[in-house]
């Protein structure tokens, strides 16, 4: 029998998708056969800075050469999104203890919502540890240059 495909979802707000996120995906592909990048988005709340459709198209364009990567939006429990994609794994990145505190409780909840559902953490690459979507939004809001922090060109 062929080995079961290892499918992971990489959930997040990706507002915007950064070089740090790209790095987690590329390293994740050394572990998983497929990664579904899931942009959690509540259409009723509309509480994003960067347009979700723009972000989907930028991420798809960026990874279009690699059929192991797909990009979807979702508006449901992350655990349910994972099951829909037959994913037994959630991929997340860890930068610091703040990330850890937050991730620790979510990972435990997700494990109970859908079993088997393991969260696999990759420690940030030092060269990307300083990159966060929050900082990018702030820099962009005040007209700063974010081009070195994101892995695609943004015209907005
Ligand atoms: P969320 O809104 O769920 O925190 P984000 O879009 O901010 O989602 O991040 C998605 C995932 O990527 C999280 O696991 C986060 O810790 C991780 N991440 C964000 N920036 C980096 C980075 N620079 N290096 C490694 N992981 C990162």
CATH code of the domain covering residue 42: 3.40.50.620
Grade residue 60 by pLDDT with cuts at 50, 70 and 90.
Answer: very high
**Ligand 1 center from residue 1 Cα (angstroms):** 36
| Structure-block tokens of residue 94 | 């860890």
In the set 21, 58, 92, 140, the catalytic residue is: 21
Ligand 1: distance of its center to the CA of 103 in Å?
10
| Protein residue closest via CA to atom 25 of ligand 1 | 124
36 lies in a domain?
yes
How far, in Å, is the centroid of ligand 1 from the Cα of 15? 10
Instruction: Give catalytic status of residue 43 as yes or no.
Output: no
pLDDT band at 42 (very low <50, low <70, confident <90, very high): confident
pLDDT of 155 reads 86
Are 71 and 59 in contact by the 8 Å Cβ rule? The answer is: yes
Which of 32, 117, 91 shows the shortest CA–CA distance to 66? 32
In this predicted structure, the answer to whether residue 117 has a pLDDT above a threshold of 90 is: yes
Q: What DSSP state is assigned to residue 3?
A: P
CA angle 43, 106, 16 (to 5 degrees): 45
User: Quick one: pLDDT at residue 2?
Assistant: 78
Question: Residue 113 class from Cβ within 10 Å (0-12 exposed, 13-18 middle, 19+ buried)?
Answer: middle
In the predicted model, is pLDDT for residue 23 greater than 80?
yes
Question: Terminal CA-to-CA distance of the chain, rounded, Å?
Answer: 49
Give phi and psi for 39, each to the nearest 5.
Answer: -90, 110
81 inside domain: yes
Number of domains within the chain = 1
Averaged pLDDT for residues 96-113? 93
pLDDT at 45 exceeding the cut of 90? no
Q: Which residues line ligand 1 (CB under 6 A)?
A: 12-14, 18, 20-21, 24, 92-93, 95, 99, 124, 128-129, 131-133
Backbone angles phi, psi at 11, to 5 degrees: -90, 150
Q: Which domain holds residue 113?
A: 7-141
CA atoms within 13 A on the CB side of 141: 11
Residue 156 lies in a domain: no
Res. 65 pLDDT band, cuts 50 70 90: very high
Q: Give the pair of three-digit tokens for residue 135.
A: 């900082």
| Residue 21 annotated among the catalytic residues of the structure | yes
């Amino acid at each position: 029998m062929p080995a079961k495909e290892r499918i992971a979802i990489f959930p997040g707000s990706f507002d915007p998708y950064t070089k740090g996120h790209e790095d987690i995906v590329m390293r994740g592909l050394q572990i998983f056969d497929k990664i579904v990048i899931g942009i959690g988005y509540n259409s009723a709340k509309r509480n994003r800075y960067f347009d979700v459709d723009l972000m989907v198209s930028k991420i798809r364009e960026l990874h279009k050469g690699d059929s192991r990567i797909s990009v979807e939006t979702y508006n449901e429990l992350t655990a349910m999104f994972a099951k829909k994609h037959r994913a037994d794994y959630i991929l997340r990145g860890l930068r610091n203890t703040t990330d850890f505190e937050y991730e620790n409780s979510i990972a435990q909840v997700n494990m109970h919502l859908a079993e088997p559902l393991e969260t696999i953490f990759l420690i940030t690459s030092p060269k990307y540890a300083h990159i966060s979507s929050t900082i990018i939004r702030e820099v962009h809001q005040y007209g700063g240059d974010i081009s070195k922090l994101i892995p695609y060109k943004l015209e907005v």
